Amino acid sequence: MKYFPIFLATEGRRIVVSGGGEAALAKLRLLLKTEARLSVVANEVIPEIEDLAAQGRLTLIRRAMEPGDALCAALFYAANDDDTEDARVTRLAQADGALTNWVDNLEHSQFITPAIVDRDPVTVAIGTEGAAPVLARAIKADLEERLPASLGVLARVGKAFRSVAEALPMGRARRAFWSDYYFGAGPAAFDAAGEDALAETLDSLLAQHLGQTEQRGRVTFVGAGPGDPELLTLKARRALHEADVVIYDRLVTQEVLELARREALMIDAGKEGFGPSVAQSDIDALIVLHARAGAHIVRLKSGDPTVFGRLDEEMDACASADVPFSIIPGITSASAAVASIGQSLTKRDRNSSVRFVTGHDMKGYAEQDWRALAQPGQVAAIYMGKKSSRFVQGRLMMHGADASTPVTIVENASRRDQRAIGTTLATLPDAVTGLTGPALILLGLAPRAAETFAQTYEEEIAL
């Protein structure tokens, strides 16, 4: 992030614009929405700016800019449509201590003005760091259509009611009240009777929420998918937005964690096979501890929580503590992996079933039905198989598997640094050497048109 987005308090503060033409007017149209004291410094100005000065909406200084003109200014805009003059006035403003923006010159600007969706006091700012103004305008147009004109009124009336709503306990109870207001009772009341109905609606809604018994803590087991945040389900996103506590595994990507509510307590409960781990009993205890404190917990698991996620143990812990829970499934790593190589897990006349197996369990390497897996045409998705690859190879070949059986290893499935390695059972242990990311081994599958498909897939996930 090259530019840090902030909302600057402008009430009563100076903002200076150097320039009196169309470029200056364009900035003034936006700045006039603030509560700042605006000054325009220019030798010549167009009639529209003169009219604004005559109306008392800005101070007009009819001369070229001089040292001291930007003293005590919070922001300064160089908008002369003349590079030489804009360079000169920018230097003067910076010497006066103002943050400067040189219109249409990203390189020499200390700040940039984003595209803005205005539903005062609700404001959405959209920036692309100057890389794609067309994209920013497109996002702005989309949001303009989505956000109702009444949103500003709802927010303004709600803001005045905030001190009254503090009668509710901070946290989930208060969030539930405001959620009901902004997404249910408030819009319905406004549509039916306008702004005058909102105060009564808030009073009634508050009494309703104060009369509710305290909500119990609960747990939502959420599948985080293989890594790409766009593969999260809508239900999973909603759970992350509502969570008080998020307990996550080490394979959950940072991009997915970014979707959690900012105020949520984030707890890393990562486990690594044959390596440093948080004990499962400690994770169970953490879940119960926070649930008994009344929190909504999201237990975030990579892929689908029902596949090799030790979900039963955590559900048993919840049941023993009388903690309610629910499960939101996710896209499995196996599904993402086969999609990335242009294959399917089942195919007519090849295999009518597929096995999900793990390379190791709590006691070490996991035993499987090796005789069945070694049969021609079998397909298996092997989780946690990097360190057990030689063991898997040995067991399969011992039971008659062909050494030339195709194998594909997909590292970091669905992520930007994903890669697929096509190999055979004979060379499987060598193929996993050096892999550092999570890898899934697809036994019995080879990449389909690997180079062409991989290029297309990478282009798609980059969008």
> What's the pLDDT tens digit per position in 260-298?
988 899 999 976 654 557 899 999 999 999 999 888 999
- List, for residues 134-179, the tens digit of each pLDDT value: 898 899 999 888 888 888 999 999 999 999 999 988 777 888 888 8
Confidence of residue 453 (pLDDT cuts 50, 70, 90): very low
Distance CA 93, CA 140 (A): 31
Cα–Cα distance, 416 to 422 (Å, whole number): 19
* CATH numeric code, 14-113: 3.40.50.720
Q: Which pLDDT score, from 0 to 100, does residue 345 have? A: 93
pLDDT band at 337 (very low <50, low <70, confident <90, very high): very high
Tokens 């794609």, residue located: 132
pTM of the model: 0.69
Average pLDDT, the chain: 90
**pLDDT for the residue 224:** 95
Q: So what CATH class is 220-331?
A: alpha beta
Active site (catalytic) residues? 249, 271
Query: 393 falls in which pLDDT band (50, 70, 90)?
Result: very high
Residues 6+ apart with CB under 8 A from 88: 65
**Token pair of 136 as six digits:** 């920013």
Distance CA 87, CA 317 (A): 67
pLDDT at residue 84 above 60?
yes
Task: Report which of 69, 114, 59, 60 is spatially closest to residue 90, judged by C-alpha positions.
Answer: 69
Residue in the block written with tokens 């969030």: 175
Residues of the chain with pLDDT > 70, as a percent, come to 95
CA distances from 19 to 76, 77, 101, 102, 398 (A): 11, 9, 13, 11, 82
Task: Could you please state the CATH topology (level 3) that the domain comprising 334-462 is classified under.
Answer: 3.30.950
